[in-house]
Amino acid sequence: MSLPCLILVAALDGQAALQHAAALAALGPHPWGSPRGPVAAEYVASQFRAAGLQEVRLQPFESHGIKGTNVIGVLRAPGPEFVVLAAHHDTAPAAPGAYDDGAGVGILIEAGRILARVPSRPRTLVFVSFDGEEAWSTGKTTTAGSRAYVQSLGNEARNLAGALVVEMSGFKGGTPVLHPIAYADPLKPGRSVIAPGWLVGALLAGSRDGGAPLGLGDPWLAWLYQPAVRTFRVRLYGDDLSFVQAGLPAAFVSDSSFTAFYPWYHQATDTPDKLDAGALGRMGASVLAAVSALERMPRSSGADPAWFAAGPGAGRGMALRPRRALRGARPPGRALAGRRCGRRALAPGRSLRPRPLAAPGAGGVGLPAALPRRPRPAPVAPGALAPPAAGPPGAGRRGGPAGLRLRRLALGLGGRGGAPRLRAAVDASARSAGPAAPTGPRGAAAGPLRVPDRALW
Ligand SMILES: [Zn+2]
């Protein structure tokens, strides 16, 4: 690890992040559109300025007749490419939101303070605190502020290298994990979109090489998590939803996972006394290391949706196994290996061609037909998965270490009938959304920028 990286991952002040969360929670619940919402935005803007961010501004928006305010701060680099680091300052209607997501905003502010001290950078860093992430509570849309932000990018979106969203952080019993979740594709009913493999690989490798490794989805059940979030519409998402559905590379981090979920989520008891400064520092270190990787990773394009992370420990120290590129060139993930700020980043790609995973049968977790609410986390029960009896031919042609066996098991959860069954379970909301007007391509291979402004699930 280079010296700059070492300094970065060592420095984030978890106590300071906790104080920001406490300050925001002291407002009481401040959901999107409430009178306290602008007060929260002003607090974040003032802290962005104090942290040394430049061009700090409020971004007012209106969606479905409700007004909100995003907060944006910038650290400039000479070139056009930029990285987004984000959190959200609005809360669920009844929650003061210390954990969700005042603490994420606290990490955003403190990360900004550290990164502002770095004299130069390869890519512009844009810090955004969104409003309206909890827009589900209005019954009208989801992630309203980030949708407005993505829409505001217009053709600039093509210069977005990647976006990382900091969600729900500071849980002492949790573990920092990356959540790349398959969301409903707004343009292709019944299909999903997910963070590209090259982004997931860069984030995992960057955090690991920075000494603060992120797990993938769950510290214990990463092998199960991955097919689960591709198969079921899990009711877990962050503002990355707005980016991914627009064809932009993004994922979110949290220290809540399927096996350890913050107990006071969206409740009036989500107060600062539940937060742990050490856990915030730990997440902050992972975030800084991951952002450092996003600043430096080679520019990629393409959806690259087929990947699987495997490795010892089923969560920590994972390596991404990219599918070998079918259209020439080497696997995208390989290009990420050996970047600055660390040792060899990724394990060599193996030829892996995951097949579509099966939708659940009768009695399984079905796809919601209407806009879901998410007053509670909805962990996927292992028992709800299809039995692993009908593994795809060739999925396990290599025997051997645990990682491979896990991979084989995970692939075995699906079958050839998966795709039609998944397609049959069309999300009514996605169907009604229709094709959004493309406002600008993000790389030729990535297709047009899609900016849906309706709730999709
Ligand atoms: Zn949140």
Q: 413-439 pLDDT, tens per residue? A: 222 222 222 222 223 222 322 223 222
Ligand 1 centroid – CA 17 distance (Å) = 16
Structure confidence at residue 320 (pLDDT)? 63
Strand partners, 447: none
**What is the pTM (predicted TM-score) of this model?**
0.72
Nearest to 197 by CA among 357, 80, 325: 325
Class of residue 339 by CB neighbours under 10 A (exposed 0-12, middle 13-18, buried 19+): buried
Ligand 1 centroid – CA 100 distance (Å) = 5
More confident residue, 409 or 166: 166
Region 265-282: mean pLDDT is 96
Structure confidence at residue 318 (pLDDT)? 57
Ligand 1 centroid – CA 62 distance (Å) = 20
- The token pair at 160 is 């977005």
Residue type, 262: Y
Ligand 1 centroid – CA 182 distance (Å) = 17
Ligand 1 centroid – CA 311 distance (Å) = 29
Ligand 1 centroid – CA 166 distance (Å) = 8
Residues 163 and 57: their CA atoms lie apart, in Å, by 19
**Domains of the chain (ranges plus CATH)?**
3-353+428-446 (3.40.630.10)
- The mean pLDDT of the chain is 72
- The token pair at 331 is 């696997």
Ligand 1 centroid – CA 110 distance (Å) = 18
Ligand 1 centroid – CA 44 distance (Å) = 16
pLDDT tens track for 166-178 = 999 999 999 999 9
pLDDT tens track for 341-371 = 333 222 333 222 322 322 222 222 222 223 3
Residues 402 and 387: their CA atoms lie apart, in Å, by 20
Ligand 1 centroid – CA 168 distance (Å) = 6
Strand partners, 251: 164
Ligand 1 centroid – CA 133 distance (Å) = 6
Structure confidence at residue 7 (pLDDT)? 54
Residues 128 and 74: their CA atoms lie apart, in Å, by 9
Percent of the chain with pLDDT over 70: 65
Ligand 1 centroid – CA 138 distance (Å) = 15
Ligand 1 centroid – CA 198 distance (Å) = 25
